[in-house]
Amino acid sequence: MTDGVGSDIFGEDYLHFFVPLLDDERSEREVELIWRLLMPAPGARVLDLPCGHGRIANRLAARGLKVTGIDNDQRFLARARADAAALGVTVDYRDGDMRAPPVHGGFDAAINWFSSFGYFDDEGNRRVLRALADALRPGGRLLLDMHDRDALVARIAAAGEPVQVVEMGDDLLVDRARFDPVAGRSHTERIVVRGGRVRRTQFTLRMPSFPELRGWLTDAGFSDARALDERGAPFASGARRLVVLATR
Ligand SMILES: C[S@@+](CC[C@H](N)C(=O)[O-])C[C@H]1O[C@@H](n2cnc3c(N)ncnc32)[C@H](O)[C@@H]1O
């Protein structure tokens, strides 16, 4: 899919099935990791791209950072703004495409968090990295957080076809994934049952290996990239997530 995973995957179903799983405890834990890895100076400028419904951006703003959040889904932005108002924090939320975000440079840090990378063809994915580099000041730092592809491949080897089931009352979301090692892409068939109606959709994600991603980051203008796991420790086999810390 060259123009991204788009509205089939996000929007209303994401709000219904996934947002309840991204609860305060989980979001706080993730913000704590982001904080520890970025070590932002008081009042640092941070770009959250894409920001989704603002769960990370609002929390970073509550800790005193100057946050800009960009997403292309109006429902998520509306939710993010409403939550910011309820929390009494200010975030500059903007509608935009992560390949060409409406920002100028000068950010101290940028995050692309919670499996928000790999939505496009390789040129599009590289454009996202260039946009993140362009947004940062020299010495600014980027954090990327994604599913680890080797963990997915291991699950496929162990279980044949990994199935994720999310239940919300009587509604069900079922994801069946496979991995194409030649293209470096996962392909997922999603079945959603809501109010007794069944809908099917498919999406694909580019999942670069870390050495491949490091090459893309270098091409985009980053000077170094470290591979970490979901606790911020050096990445090793068995990690569920790959967290990359790179410096412009
Ligand atoms: C998995 S969510 C993660 C959101 C957020 N980073 C978080 O941690 O909750 C991915 C987000 O990417 C957004 N998105 C998808 N394609 C996009 C694009 N082309 N430009 C900007 N945002 C996009 C979706 O609307 C969704 O909010």
Cα 71 to ligand 1 centre (Å): 6
Distance CA 55, CA 189 (A): 27
pLDDT tens digit sequence for 195-215: 889 999 999 999 999 999 999
Task: Return d(Cα 57, Cα 69) in angstroms, integer.
Answer: 6
Q: Are residues 132 and 17 in the same domain?
A: yes
Name the residue range of residue 158's domain.
150-203
pLDDT of residue 30: 97
- DSSP letters of 125-144? HHHHHHHHHHHEEEEEEEEE
Ligand 1 centroid – CA 79 distance (Å): 13
Same domain, 124 and 165: no
Quick one: angle between helices 55-62 and 74-87, nearest 10? 30
Q: Is the pLDDT of residue 7 over 70?
A: no
Whether pLDDT at 4 is above 80: no
Q: What pLDDT band is residue 5 in, cutting at 50, 70 and 90?
A: low
Q: Which amino acid is at 64?
A: G
Q: Kindly state whether residues 136 and 85 are assigned to the same domain.
A: yes
| Same domain for 181 and 99 | no
Q: Is 179:156 a contact under the CB 8 Å cutoff?
A: yes
The confidence score (pLDDT) of residue 2 equals 40
* Average pLDDT taken over every residue of the chain: 93
Residue 3 lies in a domain: no
The protein residue whose alpha carbon is closest to atom 25 in ligand 1 is 73
Residue 1 has pLDDT above 50, yes or no: no
> Is residue 28 domain-shared with residue 77, that is, in the same domain?
yes
CATH of the domain at 87: 3.40.50.150
Considering Cα of 28, then 29, then 30, then 33, what sign does the dihedral take? Answer: positive
106 HSE (CA, 13 A, CB side):
5
- The dihedral built from the CA positions of residue 25, 235, 71 and 41, taken in this order, carries a sign that is positive
For the cut 90, the answer to whether the pLDDT of residue 110 exceeds it is: yes
Does pLDDT of 106 surpass 50? Answer: yes
Q: Mean per-residue pLDDT for 185-195?
A: 93
Distance CA 166, CA 143 (A): 27
Average pLDDT over residues 40-62: 97
Q: Which of 47-56, 78-87, 130-139, 176-185 has the lowest mean pLDDT?
A: 176-185
Q: What's the pLDDT score for residue 10? A: 84
Give the distance (Å) from ligand 1 centre to CA of residue 143: 15
91 lies in some domain: yes
Least-confidence region, from 24-38, 74-88, 105-119, 155-169: 155-169
- Around ligand 1, the residues with Cβ closer than 6 Å are 4, 10, 50-52, 55-56, 71-73, 76, 97-98, 113-116, 119
Q: From ligand 1's centre to the CA of 80, what distance in Å?
A: 12
Both 168 and 80 in one domain: the answer is no
Q: CA dihedral defined by 124, 246, 58, 73, rounded to 10 degrees?
A: 0
Q: What is the pLDDT of residue 3?
A: 67
Does 75 lie in the same domain as 159? no
Q: Clarify whether residues 74 and 184 are in a common domain.
A: no
Pick from 247, 201, 190: nearest CA to 224: 247
Out of 13, 68, 70, 71, give the residue to mutate to test ligand 1, the one with the largest number of ligand atoms within 8 Å of its CB. Answer: 71
Same domain, 219 and 194: no
Average pLDDT over residues 33-56: 97
* Cα 84 off chain centre by: 20
